């Protein structure tokens, strides 16, 4: 009799958890319906990443602080992706990177001072600073510039932050040398 109650209780608890997960998924899908396929795919990717982090935490493979930091990072990326999609009304998202203040070295050899960053500013010709999102921790969100944007910036010589000094350099390409490799032609 006791085993039957225990099994029934476990079954009911499982149904409640699955029902709650389905309700959250349905709400999430409803919220995402307003976006195009690219944005929905990115939000789905973030949902999958959260499931991986949840799974690793459930198997005790990661520490609680690691779990919290990565869950907050995923939430920050989601908030920024939704903000970009709503503001631009475009089904396009750049490659986004979210780093906490103590993680700026992951993106930059000589990290800029996060207090001096301005929204829209290009840092080291590779990232555009999009803003800070507070999701548990403060995450600084950057969009990786595609190679065409980087080349355009270098060609125009726009103001680019020199992260080593924190100053703005007006033309960082005065001594830029471009090397090309000759094309290899094979003959039969």
pLDDT confidence bin for 28, thresholds 50/70/90: low
Question: Mean pLDDT across the chain, nearest whole number?
Answer: 77
Describe the crossing of helices 2-32 and 37-58 by its angle, rounded to 10 degrees. Answer: 150
Domain ranges of the chain: 94-174
Q: Residue 59 has which token pair?
A: 């198997």
Q: What is the pLDDT of residue 13?
A: 46
Q: Is the pTM of this model over 0.75?
A: no
CA-CA distance, 39 to 91, in Å (whole number)? 6
Q: Mean pLDDT across the stretch 138-161?
A: 81
Residue 126 C-beta-side C-alpha neighbours within 13 Å = 9
Q: Is the pLDDT of residue 79 over 60?
A: yes
């Amino acid at each position: 009799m006791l085993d039957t109650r225990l099994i029934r209780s476990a079954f009911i608890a499982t149904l409640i958890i699955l029902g709650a997960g389905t309700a959250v998924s349905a709400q999430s899908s409803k919220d995402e319906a307003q976006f195009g396929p690219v944005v929905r795919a990115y939000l789905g990717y973030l949902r999958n990443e959260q499931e991986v982090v949840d799974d690793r935490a459930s198997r005790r493979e990661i520490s609680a602080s690691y779990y919290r930091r990565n869950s907050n990072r995923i939430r920050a990326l989601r908030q920024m992706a939704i903000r970009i999609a709503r503001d631009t009304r475009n089904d396009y998202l750049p490659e986004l990177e979210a780093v906490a203040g103590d993680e700026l070295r992951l993106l930059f050899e000589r990290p800029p001072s996060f207090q001096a960053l301005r929204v829209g500013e290009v840092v080291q010709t590779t990232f555009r600073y999009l803003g800070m999102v507070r999701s548990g921790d403060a995450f600084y969100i950057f969009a990786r510039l595609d190679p065409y944007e980087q080349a355009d910036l270098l060609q125009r010589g726009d103001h680019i932050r020199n992260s080593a000094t924190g100053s703005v350099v007006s033309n960082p390409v005065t001594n830029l040398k471009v090397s090309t490799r000759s094309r290899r032609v094979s003959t039969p």
